[in-house]
Amino acid sequence: MLSPLLERLIEDLQVLPGVGRKSAQRMALQLLEKRRADAVKLSETLAAAVEKMGRCEGCRTLSETPLCPVCESPRRDKSSICVVETPAEMLAVEQGTDYRGGYFVLLGRLSPLDGIGPEQLGLDLLEKRLAAGECQELILATNPTVEGEATAQFIAQMAQPHQVATSRIAYGVPVGGDLDFVDGGTLSHAFSSRQQLAN
Amino acid sequence: MLSPLLERLIEDLQVLPGVGRKSAQRMALQLLEKRRADAVKLSETLAAAVEKMGRCEGCRTLSETPLCPVCESPRRDKSSICVVETPAEMLAVEQGTDYRGGYFVLLGRLSPLDGIGPEQLGLDLLEKRLAAGECQELILATNPTVEGEATAQFIAQMAQPHQVATSRIAYGVPVGGDLDFVDGGTLSHAFSSRQQLAN
């Protein structure tokens, strides 16, 4: 027997990824018991974010301004573009590597059965950026899935006439991983992509 | 390089218990990428809950109405009161047991060093309910900590003049637990509280 509003808050908190009934309950009670000021702030920020966040006109990532901070920054190297599937993956590259060029976020991957073609991925926008001539290197960092590979292949072909150096990031055994625990697909990929050692 | 509003949302989401930077990032992106309608709903519910949730006048749990659903229900057994420390613990009793009486939520435990005395725990309100004569059984379900025990002891003494049957819930080895993994304090408690078997 819960107060209806508390029940609704617990329900609504469960839209958060990885949050089930039990965690939602703990969150709701903690917010209301101990952190009301923070709860108000969170509610306001969330409303503002949903209202103001749109797409960056340069790279299609989430942004509240027409151009995102990366596209706008004069310190980013405009001569390379890294293509990723989602804003989350853009963040992963940004936080995990020392890459300091530009990005292009597809917001999906080619999947004709689901009606996702080149237009849905904004590839006309990407082609315009390639045609503008500033970009000299295109790094394809789509996921190593069937659709991700197909998307990378498609973009590579699209880039050919524009004479940019196109590369795909390496897929293989994770650093620090144990061969014993790596799945067969990854291992066979790592074998077929083996690199000659200088000697 | 994150858009400032996204950065703020990620910061603010970290007030949720058990949510660190990485989960907050995943939550923010998922809400903005895929679940904007749900995000708006969550923001509104959160604001409404903070604004409207007060204390139940009967048992001090969180409630948006003067009396919470438990205190208001004619189907609850008004002759017993279960005393718990927090609304979360009231919920735990409510969901884990078939107890269908009333509650009293202390919102803390006696702790003179922190300035928490009987008034802060609303014990005058509890005494009024006992004096009203409707209650015949008082179940003390405070936590088995030093302060929790002291609080239970204090309330038991307070209840004495009102002639209600006062009990403390049992503490011992958890059901399904393994004696090997139970800490010494619990085990010695379980020994000293052993119950005679009928034969």
Domains of chain A plus CATH, in order, are 79-194 (3.40.1360.10)
Spatial CB neighbours of B193, under 8 Å, sequence gap ≥ 6: B170, B171, B172
Instruction: Give the predicted TM-score (pTM) of the model.
Output: 0.80
| pLDDT greater than 90 at residue A144 | no
Note the Cα A108 to chain centre separation in Å: 9
How confident is the model at residue B199, as a pLDDT? 67
* Subunit contact B42:A15, Cβ cutoff 8 A: yes
Give me chain A's average pLDDT, please. 90
Q: Tell me how many degrees the CA angle B91-B37-A25 measures, rounded to the nearest 5.
A: 10
pLDDT over 80 at A155, yes or no: yes
How far apart CA A122 and CA A103 sit, in angstroms, is: 13
Residues of chain A contacting B15 with CB distance shorter than 8 Å: 31, 35, 38-39, 41-42
d(CA A103, CA A70): 8
The per-residue pLDDT for range A11-38, each reduced to its tens digit, is 999 999 999 999 999 999 999 988 999 9
- Contact status, residue A107 vs residue A59, Cβ threshold 8 Å: no
- Per the CB < 8 A criterion, the answer to whether A123 and A158 are in contact is yes
- Interface with A, mutate which of B9, B16, B100 (most A CBs under 10 A): B16
Please check the confidence at residue A194 and state whether its pLDDT lies above 90: no
Of B6, B38, B94, the CB nearest to A49: B6
Q: Which two tokens stand for residue B76?
A: 């609850």
Residues B99-113: tens digit of each pLDDT: 999 999 999 999 989
Segment B139-168 shows an average pLDDT of: 91
The arrangement of strands across the sheet holding A101-105 comes to: A101-105, A77-84, A137-140, A165-168
Q: How far is A161 from chain B (nearest CA, A)?
A: 32
pLDDT, tens only, A76-103: 998 999 999 999 999 888 888 889 999 9
- Lowest-confidence region among A46-55, A179-188, B8-17, B19-28: A179-188
Question: B46-74, pLDDT tens digit by residue?
Answer: 999 999 999 999 999 999 999 999 999 99
Q: Does B4 contact A32 at a Cβ distance shorter than 8 Å? A: no
Which residue type sits at A15?
A: V
* Contact residues, chain A, for B16 at CB < 8 Å: 16, 27, 30-31
pLDDT band at A199 (very low <50, low <70, confident <90, very high): low
By mean pLDDT, which of A19-33, A35-49, A165-179, B81-95 is the weakest? A165-179
On chain B, the residues whose CB falls within 8 A of the CB of A31 are 15-16, 46, 49-50
Mean pLDDT over A184-199 rounds to 80
